[in-house]
């Protein structure tokens, strides 16, 4: 009889302990909030192939990005910025404000000479808000000793009202050099080795788009 | 008697099972082998069914019917070696078609995909073609005329299955311009290439045309 009681008590204790373990694992997950960031989106092989067929690559787009902000995000402003070594500062060529939400996808594509840009932003579960612009100031001509290269965002923390560099097109000597650090934007001291940079910058805001 | 019956049924089931498998693969039409076995007369080109994720991607990239053929898939037999993709333009003034870009001749496989995209307001055309072995070739012509901002624009796309015949031109996509506010009597369709009745209602029609060939690329 004692053995039976002991076995039952042990079984009950085990069941409660197991249930307790389960709870302790789930609680932090339920309580934690998603990390606020913007980063490259992992695409299925089929979707990546469709982008490839469409000719959308690192050199003419930001790539497909996904963003996660807070529930106050209402819009994102894309700024086309340029840096010239002779001026030593960033100046804004154009900016475009589109509606955004707490989370979604972003894709910015542009023509090779940068005279056309297409921006699209989705809010999770709804179609994209998109804008295309033509007649943008083209990239400056490069000399025979220079090439045009690109650098894309991989991941960055998303803070409202803070500029985040998504893509940079820059001229460099034909023999190559180091890529500009997107995370350092807009600190000009980090870009003094570059003759020219064209940057696409995103700024998430709680102000609604018009 | 029961044992004999059991053996017969077992043998019959074993024979039927592989047959079921082969009928599945030919109905899906996805394998290169099935395409090869079907031989001449079973060659076709059609708009590829996309997953919801791929469709979202096309939408966010702004690749709608006005600027692209969409992702097309083709299936041909061993006689086909290449495809010529031509960009043709019809003038309402002359009533004639004219090739407005050098044709792109590209190597084909037994199966593959094709996608043609206009960008920069129609000024640039990009033709991409795969030969079924994940080998993609792409050609770009950045020197076309931009679509007119002053005209009404309508577009058409190949949607259903279209049989392929050697050296026969097939229109995959059309962009038609018409006078603003003057609604055409007939809606343009890819079947209007090269001499459809709808052409007369438009000032200009641009068509992406493909011709499969037995010439090597």
Q: pLDDT of B90-142, one tens digit each?
A: 999 999 999 999 888 999 999 999 999 998 889 899 999 999 776 899 999 98
Average pLDDT, chain B: 83
Q: Which residues of A60-94 are buried (b: 16+ CB within 10 A; e: fewer)?
A: bbbbbbbbbbeeebbbbbbbbbbbeeeeeebeeee
Q: Identify each DSSP E strand in B120-195 by its residue range.
A: 124-130, 136-141, 152-157, 162-163, 169-178
Give how far A113 is from chain B: nearest CA, Å. Answer: 11
Residue to mutate among B47, B48, B62, with most A CBs inside 10 A, is B62
Enter the pTM of the model: 0.77
Instruction: Give yes or no for residue B32 having a pLDDT over 60.
Output: no
For residue B135 the two structure tokens come to 């080998």
Is residue B60 within 8 angstroms of chain A, CB to CB?
Answer: yes
Q: Of A16-20, A58-62, A100-104, which range is least confident? A: A16-20
**Contact B53/A44, CB-based, under 8 Å?**
yes
Q: Of A1-15, A57-71, B54-68, B87-101, which range is least confident? A: A1-15
DSSP A97-142: EEE--SEEEEEEEE-TTSS-EEEEEE-TTSPEEEEEE--PPPPPP-
CB atoms within 10 A of CB A139: 19
DSSP A46-71: HHHHHHHHTT--TTSB--SEEEE--T
Res. A20 pLDDT band, cuts 50 70 90: very low
**Contact A56/B61, CB-based, under 8 Å?**
yes
State residue B133's pLDDT score: 74
State residue A127's pLDDT score: 82
State residue B50's pLDDT score: 87
**Contact A130/B60, CB-based, under 8 Å?**
yes
| A146 touches A172 (CB < 8 A) | yes
A51-92: pLDDT as tens digits: 999 999 988 999 999 999 999 999 999 999 999 999 999 999
**Contact A53/B113, CB-based, under 8 Å?**
yes
Average pLDDT, chain A: 86
State residue A18's pLDDT score: 47
Res. B24 pLDDT band, cuts 50 70 90: very low
Q: CA B193 to CA B201: how far, in whole Å?
A: 14
Percent of chain A with pLDDT over 90: 60
Residue to mutate among A46, A51, A54, A76, with most B CBs inside 10 A, is A54
Which of A55, A111, A122 lies at the smallest CB-CB distance from B60? A122
Backbone φ, ψ for residue A90 (5° rounding) = -85, 140
Is residue B5 within 8 angstroms of chain A, CB to CB?
Answer: no
- B-chain residues within 8 Å CB-CB of A51? 57, 61
Domain ranges in chain B are 2-213
Q: CA A41 to CA A56: how far, in whole Å?
A: 14
Residue in the structure block whose two tokens are 């770009």: B140
For residue A189 the two structure tokens come to 């001291």
Res. A1 pLDDT band, cuts 50 70 90: low
Mean pLDDT (whole number) for A107-133 = 90
A145-195: pLDDT as tens digits: 888 899 999 999 999 999 999 999 998 876 667 889 999 999 999 998 889
- B-chain residues within 8 Å CB-CB of A45? none
A132-155: pLDDT as tens digits: 888 899 998 888 888 889 999 999
| A108 touches A200 (CB < 8 A) | yes
| B73 touches B101 (CB < 8 A) | no
Q: CA A100 to CA A124: how far, in whole Å?
A: 9
Res. A125 pLDDT band, cuts 50 70 90: confident
**Contact B119/A111, CB-based, under 8 Å?**
yes
Could you give the 3-state DSSP secondary structure of residue B38?
Answer: helix
State residue B3's pLDDT score: 60
| A83 touches A197 (CB < 8 A) | yes
Instruction: Give yes or no for residue B35 having a pLDDT over 80.
Output: no
Could you give the 3-state DSSP secondary structure of residue B16?
Answer: helix
Cα-based angle B29, B163, B91 (whole degrees, multiple of 5):
135
Instruction: Give yes or no for residue A119 having a pLDDT over 90.
Output: yes
**Contact B58/A132, CB-based, under 8 Å?**
no
């Amino acid at each position: 009889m004692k053995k039976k009681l002991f076995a039952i008590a042990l079984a009950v204790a085990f069941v409660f302990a197991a249930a307790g373990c389960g709870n302790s694992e789930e609680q932090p997950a339920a309580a934690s909030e998603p990390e606020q960031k913007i980063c490259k989106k992992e695409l299925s092989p089929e979707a990546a192939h469709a982008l490839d067929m469409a000719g959308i690559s690192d050199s003419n787009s930001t790539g497909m990005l996904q963003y996660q902000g807070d529930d106050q995000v209402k819009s994102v402003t894309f700024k086309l910025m340029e840096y010239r070594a002779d001026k030593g500062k960033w100046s804004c060529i154009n900016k475009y404000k589109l509606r955004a939400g707490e989370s979604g996808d972003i894709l910015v594509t542009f023509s090779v000479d940068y005279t056309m840009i297409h921006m699209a932003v989705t809010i999770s579960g709804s179609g994209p808000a998109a804008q295309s612009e033509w007649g943008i100031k083209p990239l400056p001509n490069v000399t025979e000793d220079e090439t045009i290269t690109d650098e894309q965002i991989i991941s960055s923390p998303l803070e409202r009202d803070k500029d985040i560099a998504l893509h940079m097109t820059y001229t460099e000597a034909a023999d190559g050099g180091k890529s500009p650090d997107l995370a350092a934007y807009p600190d000009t001291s980090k870009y003094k080795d570059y003759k020219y940079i064209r940057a696409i910058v995103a700024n998430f805001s709680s102000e609604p788009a018009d | 008697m029961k044992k004999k019956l059991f053996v017969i049924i077992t043998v019959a089931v074993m024979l039927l099972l592989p047959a079921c498998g082969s009928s599945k693969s030919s109905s899906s039409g996805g394998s290169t082998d099935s395409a090869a076995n079907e031989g001449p007369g079973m060659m076709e080109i059609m708009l590829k069914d996309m997953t919801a994720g791929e469709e979202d991607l096309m939408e966010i990239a702004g690749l709608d019917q006005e600027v692209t053929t969409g992702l097309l898939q083709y299936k041909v037999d061993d006689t086909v070696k290449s495809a010529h993709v031509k960009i043709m333009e019809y003038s309402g003034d002359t009533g004639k078609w004219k090739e407005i870009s050098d044709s792109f001749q590209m190597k084909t496989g037994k199966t593959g995909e094709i996608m043609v995209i206009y960008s920069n307001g129609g000024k640039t055309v990009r033709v991409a073609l795969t030969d079924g072995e994940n080998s993609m070739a792409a050609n770009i012509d950045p020197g076309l005329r931009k679509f007119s901002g002053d005209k009404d624009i309508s577009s058409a796309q190949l949607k259903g299955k279209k049989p392929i015949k050697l050296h026969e031109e097939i229109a995959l996509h059309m962009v038609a311009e018409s006078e603003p506010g003057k609604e055409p009597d007939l809606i343009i369709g890819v079947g209007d290439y090269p001499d459809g009745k709808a052409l007369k209602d438009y000032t200009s029609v641009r068509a992406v045309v493909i011709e499969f060939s037995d010439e090597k690329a």
